[in-house]
Amino acid sequence: MKREEILTLYHSNPDSIASYIEDFEFRYKALEFRYKVLEFRYKVLESQNIEFRERISELESQVKFKDARIEALESQVKSKDARIEALESQAIEFQERINELESLLNQNIQSNKKPPSTGTFIEKKPKTGSSQEGSSKRPGGQKGHPGSTLNQVEDPDEIIFHRLHKCRCCGRNIEESEAIGYKTRQEFNIVVMRKVTEHRAEIKKCPYCNCKNKADFPKSITKPVQYGITVLTIAIYLRNYQLIPYNRIKNLYEDVFGFKISSDTII
């Protein structure tokens, strides 16, 4: 309502303008109350929005953690698959070797069962002096014999550098001088040692459900203490192929490898 209309209404009927003002004040208070309600709802929604954002951030963090866990599990699965393939390949090789040893053992048993020859007995002449006596052959490898020469390898297990400290001509220090070459000699040796491998299965408590988890040991590791496959393979080879008695095998393991082995393990 315009100012002129209000003045005209006031002069004609003063009570009507008072009623108009009361109505206006009521509508103003109603709008003010509605504004406060909307403001309160806005604050509630804003608080909920903050909670939702925090929850979304937490869920995103959990998703990233689970993705990383899935990748780690996939990597473990691939590693275990590769290990299983390697073990299967070793098992095939061991089975072939066992079959070969059993075949040789059966041949030895059959040879021992054959009766001695019934032919003419030929007396062996006792050897006197050197076995080379009366022979025109020179000692050592004969001409044309293929031999078995030990050759150097390209990838030795260990390299030991022998440094020069001073010149052998003038006696001056040459430690800082760069080497212009190397003269190589290789020594082949056998390393005999006991190797103890400790397997530790990880134990973790889930931070979400408080569940206690333990990692799995390899399928071949079934006891708190046991022999490895190499120990058993060598023992079976010595017993079944070389036909060495149990006690001598046990003494060999104790003297050379440093631990005792039972007869049940060798069987």
Total domains, the chain: 2
Mean pLDDT of 114-138: 46
Residue 206 lies in a domain: no
2-24 pLDDT per residue, tens:
666 666 666 666 666 677 777 77
Residue 243 lies in a domain: yes
Mark which of 83, 107, 131 sits at the end of a domain. Answer: 107
Mean pLDDT of 195-207: 89
What is the share, in percent, of the chain residues with pLDDT greater than 90? Answer: 8
Mean pLDDT of 203-223: 88
In the predicted structure, residue 118 carries a pLDDT above the cut 50: no
Residue 150 lies in a domain: no
Residue 221 lies in a domain: yes
In the predicted structure, residue 161 carries a pLDDT above the cut 80: yes
Residue 6 lies in a domain: yes
109, 157, 165, 191 from 162: Cα distances, Å: 54, 17, 10, 22
Residue 203 lies in a domain: no
Domain that holds residue 22: 1-107
214-260 pLDDT per residue, tens:
999 988 889 999 888 888 888 888 888 888 888 888 888 888 888 78
pLDDT value, residue 38: 92
Residue 121 lies in a domain: no
Mark which of 90, 107, 124 sits at the end of a domain. Answer: 107
Place 199 in a pLDDT band, splitting at 50, 70 and 90. very high
* Pairwise pLDDT comparison (148 vs 156), residue with the higher score: 156
Mark which of 68, 88, 107 sits at the end of a domain. Answer: 107
Residue 89 lies in a domain: yes
Mean pLDDT of 107-117: 52
Q: What is the rounded CA–CA span in Å between residue 153 and residue 178?
A: 25
In the predicted structure, residue 144 carries a pLDDT above the cut 70: no
